[in-house]
Amino acid sequence: MSDVTELKCWPCCIDSITWSPEGIIALASDDRVELLFPNTESHSTEEDVASAWQHVALQVPWFTKEELPIKDPAPLKTYSIGEEISPSIPTSLGWSPPGLAKHRRCALAALTSSLVLSVWASNGKPQDETSWERQLIINDALLERFSGNAMQEESHIESEPGEKLRLRTRIRAFAWAPALPGPQVSNIVGTQLFWGQHIIAVSNEDNQVVVLVVESPTSTLGAEEDWSAEVLNHFSVTPDSECVFSNPSCFDDFMQQQRHISHLAWSPWTVHGDWYHAVLVYATNEDVRARVVTYAHDTVGLGDEVIYPDIEIRHAGPMKWSQRVHDGDKVTLALFTRSEVICLRISASDATILNRTTHHLDGRWDEISGVVWDQMSNISPRLHFCSLSSTMNCPTAVLKLSENGLSALPSPNWREHINDTQILFSARHELKGNAKSKVWGLSAAPLGDFIAAIHTLHPSNMIEYGPPSDRRSIVAINNLMSYNQASLKFPDGNVTTEAIIFTLRKWLENTVEDADHIPEFAERVINKLAQTYAPLQTPASSNGNSTTSYAIADHSQLVVQFKQRAFLDPHTLKDRYNILVSQTCMPTQSNDLAKTLIAFRLATAAQRLPLAVTQATPFSSEIASHHRQLVTLIQTLIDEDAEGELDNSASIAIDPQLQTATAITDTDTCDFCEAAIPFTDLKTAACTNGHQFLRCGLSFLAIQAPRITKYCGICSTPFLSDEFVVAQEEGIRAPSRREVTEMKDRPRIEDEDAEIVEIQHDGEADDEDKRELPVTLARVLFLACDACIYCGGKFAG
């Protein structure tokens, strides 16, 4: 079974589809960007399959005058390309690595025909269209950089300062750097031990490549309140003398002149001692060039330029890196010219070519529109590709790369699926076979086991007409391997829980016919997850009784240590995989015992933090008090259980030092009636007068105020929001339910002369860019558990 969803839009650009690590598909159309979210409910009927994806539209072409001021027409010498009157149609999309957007999600970079690159991210629930906002415009960072001394650099196109600045702030292409690997190899579901910087490379209209770092309140651990981009380095590309015209006089001169880098691609990182190496390739009119990019200690370096001659891809197709690294230093790049596909094996140390293989393209005349590396096979990687108009007419759609070179393979599933929809389209409209398909792009699933193809259907022997409302594009998702339980596997590396769930649902629907066999399937999946994603543990992190001291001086290191000991505890991992699989395969099964044990280990690990951290603020002291009450409650249940212990790691005596630690209060108090709220349950709280609340899944405090909650997107467990935690740490109390009600009932003041009072934090000015936040239990707890500790899902809200 394949997923098929129809969109009421028309793709507007080549390579217009991209699949995020969190399972969100983004598509570019002429008036918006469409986001597709897989629904969490299982589906078996055709009607369910048709509605298996939720659609959210982003108005990427809409800019305010503050974001995109009105531009004057460029003079003839600068050669206006229409940016000042462009409708800002999306031309290229790219997801950042996880960790940049709110709740450690991915951000979406969108390049428009106005040559503006903006970054979009959700501020709350990703499935809510209103939560998506344009967070940053990368062109503003280029304007800031090139308005200063950088303007003194010579240009081969323009000498007038104002027009030179215009050229250098136009963006033609971009590429996100892959996620930086951590100092140790780790395979983790849902989170990462280390969140590196997010780096992006862009090319402008003056033959320059610029490397920038993008930061957000999430990536800076709350130190910055706004998104920002800063130029780390840049270099100019020296064009061939035949591509430089001092005074271009005709259109052909303008088109032949080397003005910008048309393609950019960033290879996976390789580790060389304390340094990370990657290869950044970029294409000019006549050749492809590369530089080694080095990264260490927040410093980016650029190596010497290496030219790959006789490869012209200006109007041919994209460049695509394989994500597999060979022998620790060798990376593979696929490029497309007008007549052939070229695969290069490149050294990440010096960007030199080690091996080159080619294969013809069956005489295609149109541009390559999509490329995907299939690396599920451990033997030979496979390269899937499509062209805009001739995909269904040419025999080759997938190539196998081996030591003997490139060889064609039989037609893949996605191509056969498009052929079937084309036949159905012909029969439905009585075209007698006179139908054709345009394939606009391909994208691989986060785990690499599925492929999405976007295509449109057209008559081939008549003029196509009809209202815009009738325009449809089809996204078809097919598997890259046969469905059988023996071949189910998961790739190494850090993956998201959402990606795991998508794969599990597909395998469950296609391999398990009898409901009685679901428990057996679930047990097999749990074992595979435990084998594949068992991150390296320090001796201290694998033993709940350890009293090894924490490094308090380094806040980020303290968060990593706590994540290893609490979030990545081996027993907690096994329980989390059980919850995740049962939530997907057996949603009616209770997971209360596993969640209770996870909560117990979390509270125990939190009590091992130094008193200077747990008692740093009144809010952290209150959390520590609730953790002690939770441990005491569960140990009481263990003592009352005559049959034995709940778990071999559950009977841990509480440190006497922790028992005598000062707490701000032993119980919560109700905001409605100020009555005590005893700690008798992990999920819910009730005061002695009967008012009921939910408890936070990390702090176990009663959630008594509105709009201070975030939820797990998978298991719906409630947690206190990050903003609320920061406000409490800074001594800002959230309004109670009673106060919110009183404010709603209070009559509004319509007097124009009424005094307006703005409240600011003590000792904090409006123009401060960064905040000095203390090292506290609350911050360590919520930063380390940046995904749901019970199932690993991303937060929403």
Domain annotation covers residue 63: no
- What is the structure's pLDDT at 220? 83
pLDDT at residue 575 in the model: 95
Residues 469 and 492 in one domain: no
**Domain boundary pick from 425, 455, 481:** 481
Calpha distance 162→71 (Å, rounded):
12
Query: Do 466 and 502 share a structural domain?
Result: no
Same domain, 464 and 491: no
Structure tokens at 143: 């304007």
- Which of left, alpha, beta for 14 (phi over 0: left; psi -120 to 50: alpha)? beta
Backbone phi, then psi, for 533, in 5-degree steps? -115, 75
Calpha distance 200→613 (Å, rounded): 36
Q: Facing residues of 276 across strands?
A: 271, 295
Domain end, chosen from 440, 457, 481, is at 481
User: pLDDT of 40-84, one tens digit each?
Assistant: 654 444 445 456 788 899 999 999 999 999 888 887 777 777 888
What six digits make up the tokens of 390? Answer: 């001739």
CB 56 within 8 A of CB 34: yes
Q: Which two tokens stand for residue 519?
A: 């428990």
| Residues 494 and 444 grouped into a single domain | no
Structure tokens at 670: 């109700």
Question: In the 8-state DSSP scheme, what is residue 243?
Answer: G
Same domain, 464 and 571: no
Range of the domain at 441: 1-31+360-481
- The per-residue pLDDT for 552 is 59
How far apart are alpha carbons 496 and 483 in whole angstroms?
22
Give the tens place of pLDDT for each residue, 217-267. 988 887 788 999 999 999 998 877 777 777 777 777 777 777 889 899 999
Residue 599 to residue 279: CA distance in whole angstroms: 44
SS3 labels along 333-369: EEEECCCEEEEEEEECCCCCEEEEEEEECCCCCCCEE
**676 and 527 part of one domain:** yes
Has residue 305 been placed in a domain?
Answer: no
pTM for the structure as a whole: 0.89
Cα torsion 234, 235, 236, 237: sign: negative
**Looking at the domain assignment, is residue 73 inside a domain?**
no
Same domain, 547 and 634: yes
Residues 679, 667, 692, 708, CA torsion sign: negative
Domain-located, residue 344: no
405 and 554 share one domain? no
Residues 607-641 as b/e (b if ≥16 CB within 10 A, e otherwise) read bbbeeebbbbbebbbbbbbbbbbbbebbbeeeeee
Q: Are residues 473 and 498 in the same domain?
A: no
The length of the chain, given as a count of residues: 797
Q: Which among 481, 513, 547 is the end of a domain?
A: 481
Structural domain includes residue 153? no
**Are residues 469 and 500 located together in one domain of the fold?**
no
- Per-residue pLDDT at 80: 73
Q: Is residue 438 part of a domain?
A: yes
For 160-183, give the DSSP string.
SHHHHHHHHH-EEEEEEPPPPPPS
Q: Are residues 537 and 580 in the same domain?
A: yes
Q: Radius of gyration (Cα) for the chain, nearest Å?
A: 28
Is residue 104 in a domain? no
Rounded Cα distance between 640 and 39, Å, is 43
The whole-number pLDDT of residue 497 equals 94
What is the phi/psi pair of residue 48, to 5°? -65, -40
* 555 vs 553: CA distance, rounded Å: 6
Q: Please tell me the total count of domains within the chain.
A: 2
pLDDT-flagged residues of the chain (< 70):
1-2, 40-51, 150-151, 183-185, 377-378, 484-486, 535-554, 640-667, 732-773
Dist CA 219 CA 192 (whole Å): 13
Same domain? 621 vs 572: yes
Q: How far apart are CA 757 and CA 389, in angstroms?
A: 63
Tally of CB atoms within 10 A around 542: 15
Say whether 251 sits in a helix, a strand or coil: helix
- CA nearest to 445, candidates 95, 103, 174, 182: 95
Residue 746, Cβ neighbours under 10 Å: how many? Answer: 8
Residue 397 lies in a domain: yes
Phi-psi category of 561—alpha, beta or left, where left has phi over 0 and alpha has psi -120 to 50?
Answer: alpha
Q: What is the DSSP string of 97-166?
A: PTTSBGGGB--EEEEETTS-EEEEEESS-TT-GGGEEEEEEHHHHHHHHHTTGGGGS--SS--SHHHHHH
Three-state secondary structure call for residue 235:
strand
Residue 456, exposed/middle/buried by CB under 10 A (0-12, 13-18, 19+)? middle
Closest CA to 436 of 455, 411, 410: 455
Side-chain-side CA neighbours of 167 within 13 Å: the count stands at: 27
**Rounded to 5, what percent of the chain is helix, strand, coil?**
25, 25, 50
Beta strands in 718-797 (DSSP E): 718-720, 795-796
